Amino acid sequence: MKLKKLIAALAVLMLTLTMFAGCGESGGGGKDDEYGTVVIQNGDRTVTFTKMPTGVLCANLYSAENMVMMGLGQYIVGKNVHTNPADVPLPELEEYFKDIPEIERSNENAVASGCDLLIGQVSAFKDTSWGTYEQLEAEGIQCLTITGTIVPDETVEDIYTDIRNLGKIFKCEDKAEELIAQMKAEIAAT
25 pLDDT higher than 50:
no
Q: Tens digit of pLDDT for each residue in 66-123?
A: 998 888 999 999 999 877 776 777 676 678 888 889 999 999 999 999 999 999 999 9
Mean of all residue pLDDT scores within the chain: 85
Q: How far is CA 23 from the centre of its chain?
A: 14
pLDDT of 92 reads: 64
53: amino acid identity, one letter? P
pLDDT of 59 reads: 95
pLDDT of 23 reads: 66
Q: How far is CA 142 from the centre of its chain?
A: 13
164: amino acid identity, one letter? R
11 pLDDT higher than 50:
no
Please report the DSSP string for 11-53 in residue order: HHHHHHHHTTS-BTTTBS-S-HHHH--EEEEETTEEEEESS--
| Spatial separation of the C-alpha atoms in residues 180 and 135, rounded to whole Å | 33
Catalogue all structural domains in the chain, each as residue range(s) with its CATH number.
Answer: 2-189 (3.40.50.1980)
pLDDT of 94 reads: 76
142 φ, ψ (degrees, to nearest 5) = -70, 155
64 pLDDT higher than 50:
yes
More confidently predicted of 59 and 20: 59
Percent of the chain with pLDDT over 90: 65
32 pLDDT higher than 60:
no
The pTM is what? 0.84
pLDDT of 56 reads: 98
More confidently predicted of 17 and 70: 70
Q: CA separation (Å) from 147 to 57, 105, 109?
A: 17, 20, 24
16 pLDDT higher than 50:
no
